[in-house]
Chains A and B, each alone.
Chain A
Amino acid sequence: MIPMDWVWGLVGGLMIGTAAALFLLGNGRIMGASGLIGGLVDRSGWGDWPERVAFLAALVVVPALMLPFYAVEVSTNITSNLAIVIAGGLLVGIGTRLANGCTSGHGVCGISRFSLRGIVATVFYLLAGGIAMVLFRHVLGGI
């Protein structure tokens, strides 16, 4: 018996990939979350702001509209340690802009294109994520 979480993971993954395929075949663009918001933040993408804003607005609104249909309470279960939250956010912001992509751009769109950059980026952020997680949880005891 396959756990339902895996099935939902696969279904959600197919939806994410279809969204990326729609963006690529429709608008000729890579669906990268960090790039779409990052271009608005540092003004490098202001030339096509309507498209970026439409994407990001729908990204917030559509899951919000789905919440009432969930029988169980949906939670991010994010840590209540705000110092860790801020440190993590800063690292994610700096890192994704330096690397020019995150899980969606390098991971989903890059690997499927057999892009060396996407594959190498994914290997490094997975390794760094695993090491950070293990150090934090098992060596530092989660603080």
Chain B
Amino acid sequence: MSRILIAAASGGLFGAGLLVSGMTNTVKVQGWLDIFGAWDPTLAFVLGGAILPMLVAWHLTTRRQAAITGASFPARPDPKLGHNLIIGSVLFGAGWGLVGLCPGPAIASLSWGGTGGITFLLAMIAGMLAANPIRLRLDRVAAA
């Protein structure tokens, strides 16, 4: 039960932060990416502000055996980069630049995003379903 409550508190605070920061506004996100236009540095403040508490949190994980609910902390990921990380990040970035929404803000803005917001979310979910077959193909090509 406490895991569910913590997840809800975290999701709620994440959503509130996304709204307050302006990241659910596609104009601000595209303004950051548009380095040849009227460049908007807000996103740097958001990312910088978000990294600060996490620097502390990661440091605390080295001093504790386990999380508050008793769960173990996530292991360090395999340092190998791999083709999927690069290809996936490029595809994600292209979609993010086109529309100005990444997954968190797309979900957080569901209640006021209108038809466009719901359409984006449904397309994103369809893309997530398509990702596994695409990964299998990419892996086969990479192995060949």
Contacts and interface: CB of A to CB of B under 8 A. Distances in A.
A33 B94 CA distance: 18
Contacts of A121: 85, 88-89
A30 B74 contact: yes
A6 B28 CA distance: 11
B55 interface: yes
A93 to B, nearest CB: 2
Interface hub of B53, B87, B89 (most chain A Cβ within 10 A): B89
Interface in B120-136: 120-132, 134-135
Main secondary structure, interface of B, reads helix
A28 B47 contact: no
Interface in A7-51: 7-31, 33-34, 37-38, 41-42, 50-51
Nearest to A15: B17
A33 B108 CA distance: 10
Interface string A73-114: 011111110101111111111111111101110111101110
Interface in B82-97: 84-97
Interface hub of B51, B71, B97 (most chain A Cβ within 10 A): B97
B34 A133 contact: yes
Contacts of A50: 3-4
Interface string B63-88: 01011110111101111010011111
Interface of A: 5-31, 33-34, 37-38, 41-42, 50-52, 54-64, 66-67, 74-80, 82, 84-100, 102-104, 106-109, 111-113, 115-117, 120-122, 124-134, 136-138
